[in-house]
Amino acid sequence: MENSGAEAIRVVALGNDGDGIAQTPQGRVFVPGTMPGDEIVLASQTGTQGVLEQVVTPGPDRVTPVCSLFGTCGGCRLQHMALPAMMAWKAARVTEALKRAGFTTLPAPATRQVSPHGRRRVDLAFRRMDRQIVLGLHRRRGDVVDMTECALLDPTIFALLDPLRQMLHSLPAVHAGGDIQINLLDSGPDLLIAMDGTPDANDRRILAQFSKTHGIPRISLRTQPPETLALTGPVFHHFDTARVVPPPGAFLQPSREGEDAIKAAVLAGLPRKGLKAGIIELYAGCGTLSFALAQHAKVLAYEGDRAAFACLKQASGGTRVLPALRDLNRQPVMATELGRAGAVVLDPPHAGAGAQMAQIVAGKPRHIIYVSCNPAALQRDLTPLQQMGYRLESLTVIDQFLWSAEVESVCVLTLPGTTRPNRR
| Boundary-marking domain end, from 185, 207, 239 | 239
CATH number, residue 169: 2.40.50.1070
Sequence-ordered list of residues with C-beta below 8 angstroms from that of 223, at least 6 positions apart, any chain: none
Task: Assess if residue 422 is contained within a domain.
Answer: no
Residues 354, 404: one domain? yes
Residues 38, 137: one domain? no
Catalytic residues: 373
Task: Assess if residue 421 is contained within a domain.
Answer: no
Residues 160, 229: one domain? yes
Residues 100, 215: one domain? no
CATH number, residue 289: 3.40.50.150
Residues 280, 226: one domain? no
Nearest to 191 by CA among 116, 286, 287, 121: 121
Task: Assess if residue 97 is contained within a domain.
Answer: yes
Task: Assess if residue 2 is contained within a domain.
Answer: no
Residues 193, 297: one domain? no
Give the Cβ contact number of residue 24 at 10 Å.
17
Nearest to 42 by CA among 88, 91, 85, 6: 6
Residues 269, 357: one domain? yes
| Boundary-marking domain end, from 206, 239, 272 | 239
The domain containing residue 384 runs over which residues?
83-115+250-414
Task: Assess if residue 245 is contained within a domain.
Answer: no
Give the span between the Cα atoms of 204 and 171, in whole angstroms: 9
Residues 168, 224: one domain? yes
Residues 97, 153: one domain? no
Task: Assess if residue 63 is contained within a domain.
Answer: no
Q: How many domains does the chain have?
A: 3
Q: Which residues are annotated as a binding site for S-adenosyl-L-methionine?
A: 253, 283, 303, 347
Task: Assess if residue 423 is contained within a domain.
Answer: no
CATH number, residue 37: 2.40.50.140
What is the pLDDT tens value at each position of the chain, 424 positions in all?
444 456 899 999 999 999 999 988 878 999 999 999 999 999 998 899 999 999 999 999 999 999 999 988 988 999 999 999 999 999 999 999 999 999 999 999 999 999 999 999 999 999 999 889 999 998 876 799 999 999 999 999 999 999 999 999 999 999 999 999 999 999 999 999 999 999 999 999 999 999 999 999 999 999 999 999 999 999 999 999 999 999 999 999 999 999 999 999 999 999 999 899 999 999 999 999 999 999 999 999 999 999 999 999 999 999 999 999 999 999 999 999 999 999 999 999 999 999 999 999 999 999 999 999 999 999 999 999 999 999 999 999 999 999 999 999 999 999 986 444 444 4
Residues 305, 381: one domain? yes
Task: Assess if residue 419 is contained within a domain.
Answer: no
pLDDT at site 422: 46
Is residue 151 helix, strand or coil?
coil
Residues 111, 125: one domain? no
Q: What is the dihedral of CA 346, 352, 356, 360, to 10 degrees?
A: 60
Q: Which residues are annotated as a binding site?
A: 253, 283, 303, 347
Residues 108, 174: one domain? no
